[in-house]
Amino acid sequence: MAVAISNIIAVPFVRLLPVFLTLFVVSCATAPFNSLHNFNQQVVSDRPDFNLIAEYAAYADAAYQTEGEIRRRYPRTVRVSVPEGTKTLYFLEISPETKTQTISVRGTKTLKDVLYDVEFQIVEDNSLDVAFHKGFESDANLIYADVKPYLKPGYRTRVTGHSLGAAVSSILLIYLQRDGYNVEKSINFGQPKFTNAAGAARYKDLPLQRIVDGYDVVPMLPPDFLRDKKHGGYAHTGEEVIVLEGPNYVHLNEHDAERVSIDEFWRDRNYASESDHSIALYIKRIKAKRDAARQVRYSQWKSGKLD
């Protein structure tokens, strides 16, 4: 069900929630209920490195701390900044021993603020000839200009973030790759969509892994059925790892991840939970998989057949 948003573009999601839920009821009445429960994605052979994922999650969590705490946790931090024109904090850690530099971008802690801040306006990035979410692109540009003088050419470069910070860090990864930095696989957490289908297809090989809690609504925003006349709807790029309770996880490649509808989420939950989006819960889910992890199919999880 496609809905043009030319007249409601740039309206915060929380203000559109009643409309969203109304459309959900209509879509449930018209869509086959079993369509996604019958979704039988293939098992992805590569096991996610949950020790590495935990390392990235620690960086994402640190971005929410004070500057003093960030520097205590990461003594090699060379820059902590909130660039003028944005409210988004980031920090840069550089390790000369490993020739690695890591950018971590702060997100939004509360789900209420996330829902308010996620707008549907999408704009073209003329330097890349691709469309990005307006707010995420603006923050990414300001942070990139601020951090670039501190970056080391030739160092292995990676980015991370949680929530809105994850979307900003993904755009930063694109900028870094464009400018010839030695980008490594980057991992982020609870990321909303930051580009449209054309942008997702263009950057399908971006070295990005998205970690998603199984009941976190934020990675499904903005929803597929809200579309701009010119640019279409939003879409994800990169592989997706859905972290569930205990050792269980679902691993989706790019194509399969796009087939998971937001309608399926609202069939199972009619509210958005603060705890489901918290970085603390992500860390808890990841920790449970560091010693033993068990991949399950998406359809297996949705049917409740995890035993």
Compute the distance between CA of residue 53 and CA of residue 37 in angstroms, rounded to an integer. Answer: 28
Mean local confidence (pLDDT), 185-204: 83
pLDDT tens digit string along 41-92?
Answer: 555 667 899 999 999 999 999 999 999 999 999 999 999 999 999 989 999 9
Compute the distance between CA of residue 175 and CA of residue 128 in angstroms, rounded to an integer. Answer: 9
pLDDT at position 157? 98
Compute the distance between CA of residue 70 and CA of residue 17 in angstroms, rounded to an integer. Answer: 36
Mean local confidence (pLDDT), 112-129: 60
pLDDT at position 238? 82
Short-list 110, 122, 125, 212, CA closest to 172: 125
pLDDT of 150 higher than 90: yes
pLDDT of 18 higher than 90: no
pLDDT at position 51? 96
Residue with tokens 């359809």: 299
Superfamily of domain 3-302: Alpha/Beta hydrolase fold, catalytic domain (3.40.50.1820)
SS (H, E, C) the chain: CCEECCCCCCCCHHHHHHHHHHHHHHHHHHCCCCCCCCCCCCCCCCCCCHHHHHHHHHHHHHCCCCHHHHHHHCCCEEEEECCCCCCCCEEEEEECCCCEEEEEECCCCCHHHHHHHCCCCEEEECCCCEEEEHHHHHHHHHHHHHHHHHCCCCCEEEEEEECHHHHHHHHHHHHHHHCCCEECCEEEECCCCCEEHHHHHHCCCCCEEEEEECCCCHHHCCCCCEEECCCECEECCCEEEEECCCCEEEEECHHHHHCCCHHHHHHHCCCCCHHHHCHHHHHHHHHCCCCCCEECCHHHHHCCCCC
Give the lowest-confidence range in 46-55, 124-133, 196-205: 124-133
pLDDT tens digit string along 215-258?
Answer: 888 888 777 665 566 666 777 788 899 999 999 999 987 655 55
pLDDT at position 203? 76
Q: In what order do the strands lie in the sheet with 130-133?
A: 122-125, 130-133, 195-196, 234-235
